[in-house]
Structure 1
Amino acid sequence: MKNMLKGLGAALCVALPLLAQAPAGAATPAAAGAADQALVQRGAYLAQLGDCAACHTAPKGKPFAGGLPMNTPMGRIYVTNITPDAQTGIGGYTEADFARALREGVAKDGHNLYPAMPYPSYAKVNDGDVKALYAFFMHGVAPVQQANRESDIKWPLNMRWPLMFWNMAFLEKGPYRDKPGKDVAWNRGAYLVQGLGHCGSCHTPRGVGFQESALDESGSAFLSGALLDGWFASNLTGEHNTGLGRWSDEDLRTFLKTGANRHASAFGAMTSVINNSTQALNDQDVAAVSKYLKSLPPVGGNGAPAYAYDPQATKVSLDRPANDAGARVYTAYCMHCHGVDGRGFAPMLAPLAGNPNVLAKDASSLINVTLNGTGDLVINGVPSPFPMPGFAAVLDDKQIADVLSFVRAGWNNGAPAVAAAEVAKLRQSTQAGR
């Protein structure tokens, strides 16, 4: 994204005759250009905070040109071109048009955007940040002529006018306002998590209208974890087993910057978030996000006592020859990375003992990552040396169910077993079209 920043050049300059007549104290053209370039650069940083590239750039596609498919309960949609191309992008948008699309989900021509665009979160973005984002997308992004693709949603579900009523029911307008009694860092963290970071879009469960069940910490379901497109987005509250309760502030800051720590590693959609967004946060914003998330009270969880590591029973199961089906699969395919003790080799290779994703009641993420693997974490341009491979072509549904059941029971994890039917269902939905 940094490579997409461009100087504004002569377009930002005023004519020389006017310069000669500039009153004392007025900005020179060079100073004005520098100020505008600073706004573009600030907008570039904010676009990273908002993770705009992750959704609006298709694999092997040009930056922000759209085309990425997204699965919704009604069918597949394709993300739009947000480059400043006048014909196919947003080049014709005024700042007011841009602000309305960003914060209210209404395009320049008046049609409603699907709430897969997280405008209920972006509604909290303040005017100054909207201005900087607009400057970046108009002057810091290369225009790409690429027509937007119609969704695969069938009539009548593809009609957009009912979204007006959805907005009336679920959209809370108005930028974030600092909470009294909270310090500057907490409020900054809340603003980023609830607004540009739009963490609730994935990590908060949805209601009957597919709306987020809560938009901030005043709702008990906020960031308590949710199933989304074949992955279970983790619980981000202080819950001790499946949330962040055992994570220190340093653990959380490390995860945001690198995608891995002593408890877990990023996978699935979170890999893209780390790659395109959170690793770019400056130290103050990382600390603010961590402070806010660590302040959230525990919600959800699996109802089990606080996790305590115990290797003994699992060690017996893994003694050669391994004495159950899951242990045999683990010995053959998993143990060389995750260890006989289940502790892996963090942060390079994720632990399984006490991992919040392993302890979660919903095993979708474990099934998905075992079937399909995960993309590379790329930190400061360097790919992770040990990405999780996919085993869909190597292990059948029963073998995957067996090994995941073994892992979820092992090392005192105490999580429910996985059924082969669950694996088969996710295999079918995630392998379609591959």
Structure 2
Amino acid sequence: MRSIHTLTPALTLCAVALGLALPAAATAAAPAADIAAGATSSDPVARGRYLATAGDCVACHTAPGGVDMAGGLALASPLGPIYSTNITPSKTHGIGNYTLQQFSDALRHGKRADGAYLYPAMPYTAYAKTTDVDIADMYAYFMQGVRPVDRASPPTALPFPFNIRLSMGVWNAMFHDDKAYQANDQQPPEWNRGAYLVQGLAHCSTCHTPRNALMAEIGKKALSGGEVGPWYAPNITSDTKDGIGEWTPQELVDYMRNGHVVGKGSSGGPMAEAIDHSLSHLSDADLRAIAGYLHTVPAVSEGSTQPAFSWGKASDQLDSIRGVALPKDMNAMTGPQLYDGNCASCHQAQGQGSSDGKLPALFHNSTLGHKNTNNLVLAILEGVPRHGRDSIMPAFAHELSDQQIATLSNYLLQAYGRPDAKVTTDQVQRLRSGAQDNTLLTMARVAMAVGALVLLALVIWLFSRRNRPSTP
């Protein structure tokens, strides 16, 4: 499952993306050291591959079991499935006929070669920061270093009015800054490199920044937490309670490289994919630059009293289940019973995890320390698959009911995590089913209907004035 690109209602008017999104797919299977070498290479193709990896679009442009970057992946959105495009250099179904200028226009201005607007789930709003030199190197990589695949992607059919791409021109005029990154002369080169990657190719704000009613990122709350479909992308500002202010730079580097840090947390869902396909392949210098820049991002507080990773301690409730028969109704099982039967074999009796840290402890674990509990539920439902690495947690969607997952989750929060956070059976059911929120579509259609009525009333008024008898 490629959950990283399950779209959220927050990605509405712009958020139902599809057009040309950027590359990293073909690099997924390559050794990290080989890719990282491209960071300082003089070869445009090698350097372009590295930059494409930093862009991390493999989850969008590679269907399960498909060829890298050949598209065809169905992206779930509140408005229906969107199919990713073929971005191999195929001249029949890919981008093989794109000129460098057309390639640049797609990345920086959100326009396809035929002039149609893209939707910003292809994060051109971030890719616009990329320099001309880097865009040229990526173009060289796509045209010379990617195997063409002559395969068409299924067409995307969004409901009216979102199938009118021309509306994105208005949205771009209101919210899109298409200027390349400008270095801050008051900051050292490493800081500028980190800012360039975070704001640009790594497109961190696409997931980690909340959006306004028109689905544009809220600049004053940059990187303070957002939504990626059902997943919660946490606050990564410098705030010491809600952000990453208490993480050391080396811990951030280790997290981006390996996906987990003992005593802090483990990645899952979209972040695990971003690490496996992109961040883990970057050079140490670039990871240090990203970590250093994030520590300077203005703090945004959400009112937490302590960091997400600091909750809980080792404990168990074995006494409550010893000698106690399981209930006839499995939905009546207690949290300790569910934990003992499904979790203790890996996370150990007191939630301490494995001694080597590969199976994480449940206390001092950020997943259980956020007020938003979606990630906890989704980790239980979907497991934690890792691409190119051993999966660290199986999925329990077919093993546990909605009630059992809610009971287990609340037990974990009380025993090892943030005790004021809650999970409900309705929440589990919604996340399991992938139910879509049609609020945006309804609002858009109502707004258009109101606009049409106003326009009609104006026409009638003007017509009546024109035909009104003149007063002698």
Superposition TM-score tier, normalisation by shorter sequence: 0.7 to 0.9
The one-letter amino acid paired with 1:292 is Y
The one-letter amino acid paired with 1:225 is G
Query: Given that residues 358 and 415 in structure 1 are in contact (C-alpha distance below 8 angstroms), is that contact kept between their aligned partners in structure 2?
Result: no
Deviation at 1:159, TM superposition (A): 1.1
Structural mapping, 1:310-321, within 5 Å: 311=313, 314-315=315-316, 317-321=317-321
The percentage of aligned residue pairs carrying the same residue is 37
Structural mapping, 1:96-107, within 5 Å: 96-107=101-112
Deviation at 1:361, TM superposition (A): 1.3
Name the counterpart of 1:356.
366
Name the counterpart of 2:224.
224
Name the counterpart of 1:338.
347
User: Comparing 117-126 with 341-350, which one deviates more in the overlay?
Assistant: 341-350
1:72 partner SS: coil
Supply the distance in 1 between the matched residues of 2:311 and 2:272 (Cα, whole angstroms): 27
Structural mapping, 1:26-425, within 5 Å: 38-214=43-219, 219=220, 221-262=221-262, 263-301=264-302, 303-306=304-307, 308=310, 311=313, 314-315=315-316, 317-321=317-321, 325-345=334-354, 347-378=357-388, 383-384=389-390, 386-411=391-416, 413-425=418-430
The one-letter amino acid paired with 2:313 is P
User: Comparing 202-211 with 299-308, which one deviates more in the overlay?
Assistant: 299-308
Supply the distance in 1 between the matched residues of 2:339 and 2:28 (Cα, whole angstroms): 43
2:102 partner SS: helix
Supply the distance in 2 between the matched residues of 1:253 and 1:126 (Cα, whole angstroms): 25
**Residue-pair matches, total:** 390
Supply the distance in 1 between the matched residues of 2:291 and 2:312 (Cα, whole angstroms): 29
Change (3 A) 1:169 1:402: same
Change (3 A) 1:142 1:430: farther
Supply the distance in 1 between the matched residues of 2:312 and 2:369 (Cα, whole angstroms): 14
Deviation at 1:48, TM superposition (A): 0.3
Change (3 A) 1:40 1:391: same
Supply the distance in 1 between the matched residues of 2:303 and 2:380 (Cα, whole angstroms): 22
Deviation at 1:430, TM superposition (A): 7.3
Deviation at 1:62, TM superposition (A): 0.9
Query: Given that residues 409 and 417 in structure 1 are in contact (C-alpha distance below 8 angstroms), is that contact kept between their aligned partners in structure 2?
Result: no
Change (3 A) 1:356 1:310: closer
Deviations 1:313-343 (A, max 9, x none): x43x343527982122112211222233333
Change (3 A) 1:147 1:412: closer
1:227 partner SS: strand
Deviations 1:23-69 (A, max 9, x none): xxxxxxxxxxxxx9810110000000001323211111111111112
Change (3 A) 1:373 1:209: same
Supply the distance in 1 between the matched residues of 2:212 and 2:54 (Cα, whole angstroms): 26
Deviation at 1:4, TM superposition (A): 9.5
The one-letter amino acid paired with 1:177 is Q
Supply the distance in 1 between the matched residues of 2:363 and 2:55 (Cα, whole angstroms): 32
The one-letter amino acid paired with 1:337 is C
Deviation at 1:2, TM superposition (A): 5.2
Supply the distance in 2 between the matched residues of 1:341 and 1:3 (Cα, whole angstroms): 37
Query: Given that residues 209 and 217 in structure 2 are in contact (C-alpha distance below 8 angstroms), is that contact kept between their aligned partners in structure 1?
Result: yes
1:179 partner SS: coil
Deviation at 1:233, TM superposition (A): 1.4
Deviation at 1:183, TM superposition (A): 1.1
The one-letter amino acid paired with 1:303 is S
Query: Given that residues 397 and 424 in structure 1 are in contact (C-alpha distance below 8 angstroms), is that contact kept between their aligned partners in structure 2?
Result: yes
Query: Given that residues 53 and 281 in structure 2 are in contact (C-alpha distance below 8 angstroms), is that contact kept between their aligned partners in structure 1?
Result: yes
Deviations 1:284-320 (A, max 9, x none): 10110111112224324452345655537x43x3435
Change (3 A) 1:398 1:240: farther
Change (3 A) 1:343 1:179: farther
Moved over 6 A (4+): none
Query: Given that residues 209 and 222 in structure 2 are in contact (C-alpha distance below 8 angstroms), is that contact kept between their aligned partners in structure 1?
Result: yes
Supply the distance in 1 between the matched residues of 2:171 and 2:428 (Cα, whole angstroms): 34
The one-letter amino acid paired with 2:396 is F
Supply the distance in 2 between the matched residues of 1:302 and 1:50 (Cα, whole angstroms): 32
TM-score, length-scaled by structure 2: 0.77
TM-score, length-scaled by structure 1: 0.84
Deviations 1:164-192 (A, max 9, x none): 00111110021111123211111100100
Deviation at 1:96, TM superposition (A): 0.4
1:337 partner SS: helix
Deviation at 1:242, TM superposition (A): 4.6
1:232 partner SS: strand
2:43 partner SS: helix
The one-letter amino acid paired with 1:206 is R
User: Comparing 320-329 with 190-199, which one deviates more in the overlay?
Assistant: 320-329
